């Protein structure tokens, strides 16, 4: 009977120690290794993609404020036709149409069911998006339509997210089709 408290303490200690996990980032790194590798291979293949004339299919956009960040953009429209149009700032409010997908084309978000600001239009501040989406938005002009590839570091990172009923796993590179419809709130930063 005297050994019962000792056995209970040992059992509790074993339960506590066995329930302790490694660093969540380390666990995710190992657990999502195949997913991470598939995503990286896909992004590298897309970055190497070329047009028929041999020019890069995607333009690499690196923001001034973070030389280590980037997104890949392919414009569907003639950018000369939109070059004189307004381009959003980080503090601007934009009207956009978009569809977000994982690298394997599984859709996770879209404006195409929204009607509050017009047919399929979502309204948000540029600084309210994930980093990669904001980088892309600030490269666009009103009227531009493009495909944007966002590396996981500028997306939902090593933790992932959950949008609706679709999980965005850690290390997910993202693909968006975006059309910048308007900039209803062009706000300049205070000086």
Instruction: Note whether residue 174 is domain-resident.
Output: yes
Instruction: Note whether residue 17 is domain-resident.
Output: no
Integer Cα distance of 20 and 10 in angstroms = 16
Domain at 57, CATH number: 3.10.50.40
How many C-beta atoms lie closer than 10 Å to residue 80's C-beta? 7
Instruction: Note whether residue 40 is domain-resident.
Output: yes
Q: How many helices (H) and strands (E) does the chain have?
A: 5, 9
User: pLDDT per residue over 51-69, tens digit each?
Assistant: 999 999 999 999 999 999 9
Instruction: Note whether residue 12 is domain-resident.
Output: no
Tokens of residue 33, six digits: 């290794």
- Helix H or strand E segment including 168: strand 166-168
Instruction: Note whether residue 116 is domain-resident.
Output: yes
Instruction: Note whether residue 159 is domain-resident.
Output: yes
Q: Residue 185: pLDDT above 60?
A: yes
pLDDT at res. 114: 81
Domain that holds residue 35: 23-185
pTM for the full model?
A: 0.83
Integer Cα distance of 160 and 169 in angstroms = 5
Instruction: Note whether residue 123 is domain-resident.
Output: yes
User: pLDDT per residue over 125-181, tens digit each?
Assistant: 999 999 999 999 999 999 999 999 999 999 999 999 988 788 999 999 999 999 999
Q: What is the dihedral of CA 41, 180, 108, 25, to 10 degrees?
A: 50
Instruction: Note whether residue 96 is domain-resident.
Output: yes
What is the number of domains present in the chain? 1
């Amino acid at each position: 009977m005297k050994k019962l408290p000792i056995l209970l303490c040992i059992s509790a200690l074993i339960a506590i120690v066995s329930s302790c996990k490694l660093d969540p980032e380390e666990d995710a790194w190992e657990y999502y290794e195949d997913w991470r590798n598939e995503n990286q291979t896909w992004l590298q293949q897309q970055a190497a993609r070329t047009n028929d004339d041999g020019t890069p299919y995607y333009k690499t956009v690196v923001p001034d404020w973070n030389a280590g960040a980037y997104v890949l953009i392919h414009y569907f429209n003639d950018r000369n036709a939109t070059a004189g149009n307004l381009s959003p700032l980080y503090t601007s409010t934009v009207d956009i149409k978009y569809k977000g997908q994982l690298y394997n084309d599984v859709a996770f978000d879209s404006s195409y069911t929204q009607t509050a600001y017009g047919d399929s239009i979502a309204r948000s501040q540029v600084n309210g998006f994930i980093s990669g989406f904001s980088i892309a938005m600030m490269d666009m002009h009103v009227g531009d339509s493009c495909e944007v590839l966002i590396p996981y570091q500028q997306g939902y990172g090593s933790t992932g997210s959950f949008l609706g009923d679709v999980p965005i796993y850690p290390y997910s590179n993202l693909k968006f089709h975006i059309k910048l419809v308007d900039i209803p709130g062009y706000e300049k930063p205070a000086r």
